[in-house]
Amino acid sequence: MRPKEIQCPSCGAVHPVWNPGIMMVVCEYCGNAVYWDEDQIRNAGKQSILPEGFSRLYRGATGELSGRRFVVLGRVRYSFGHGFWDEWFLEYADGTTAWLTEDNHELALETLLESTPVPPFASLYPGARLTIEGETFVVEEVGEAECLGMEGDLLHPVLTGERYRYADASSPDGRHTLGIEYDETPPTVYKGAWISHTALKMDEEGDDW
């Protein structure tokens, strides 16, 4: 099969889109973003260019996560006020996708929990305990996230400056993560697990710097 090709309305560069679930592409040459909306291609304009080289992951990288080959399709960066974190968008060799959250060089593989009731944002604070699907989590941080920029291919349109409230929690044994995004009603809930360094193998590790 051949990939779908998108032409950047700003610079004319052609971008192959391999995964049919992709809804947004940021031009790697000029930083212009385009997305699909009801079968129409819309121009989102120039986005902030994210610096590269400061992480194990990078757009276009290939590697193996828990024995599964993947390629990094894109990334979104969010600010939480006194810092930022990255959401890396991965495509596995079987066509399925996943999000890897990177916060201060710690990586967590997260999956969406469907129809999971969570407490209202106002009731959460650092140290608060909540039980999701029978597992206890301790809230580590609550705040408002702001999108600082994005790159590559993404599943959903997201624009620089978009904001939403969030709560991040961790299981007390330090193994699992919980992210609640109060961007929609009901809130979106992701459950994940911290990834050990050895569970992720990059084809180019970048250990020599």
Partner 1 sequence: MTAFDPSRFALNAGRTRPRYRPQVIRCVRCGAGVDVKDERAKMVVCGHCDAHLELQPGNIAQVLEGAVAQWNFPLEIGDSFRLDGIRYEVIARMAFIENRDSSDVTRQYLLYHPCRGTLWLDEYMGAYSISRTTHLMPRFEGDILKVWTGRRIETFDGTRWICNGSGRYELVHVDGALPWVARPGDKSEYVEFLAEKGDRQYEVQRVAGELEFGLGRPLSPQEVARATQKEVAKLDARRHPWVQPAFVTRATLYSLLLTALFLAINWIFLLWTWIAGKTVLSADVPAGALNGETFTPPFSVVEPGDILAIRIKVPDLDNAWLDIDGALVNADDQVIHVFSDEIFYYHGWEDGWLWSEGERDKSFYFKLPQAGTYRLLLHAVSGEGECPESDENNYDIHVRVKYGAKAPHAANAGIRLCGIMGILVLFLQGVLLFRSD
Residue ranges binding partner 1 (CB under 8 A): 1-4, 18-20, 51-56, 58-63, 69-72, 82-84, 91-95, 104-106, 126-127, 138, 140-141, 148, 170-174, 177, 194, 197, 203-209
Smallest separation (angstroms) from partner 1 to the CB of 61: 5
> Coil, strand or helix: which one is 190?
strand
* DSSP letter string, 68-110: EEEEEEEEEEEE-SS-EEEEEEEEETTS-EEEEEEETTEEEEE
| Burial class of 177 by CB neighbour count within 10 A (0 to 12, 13 to 18, 19+) | buried
- Kindly tell me which of 184 and 207 has the beta carbon lying closer to partner 1: 207
Q: Are strands 24-26 and 32-37 parallel, antiparallel or unpaired?
A: antiparallel
- Whole-number minimum distance, CB 177 to partner 1, in Å? 8
43 or 92: whose CB is closer to partner 1? 92
Is the Cβ of residue 117 or residue 174 nearer to partner 1 in the bound state?
A: 174
CB of 73 to partner 1, least distance (A): 10
- CA 90: distance to chain centroid? 9
Pick 2 or 39: Cβ nearer partner 1: 2
CB contact at 8 A, 50 and 150: yes
| Rg (alpha carbons) of the chain, rounded to whole number | 17
Q: Which is nearer to partner 1, 83 or 186 (CB)?
A: 83
What is the smallest separation between the CB atom of 11 and partner 1, expressed in angstroms? 19
Closest distance to partner 1 from the beta carbon of 160 (Å)? 12
| Cβ contacts of 119 within 8 Å, gap of 6 or more | 130
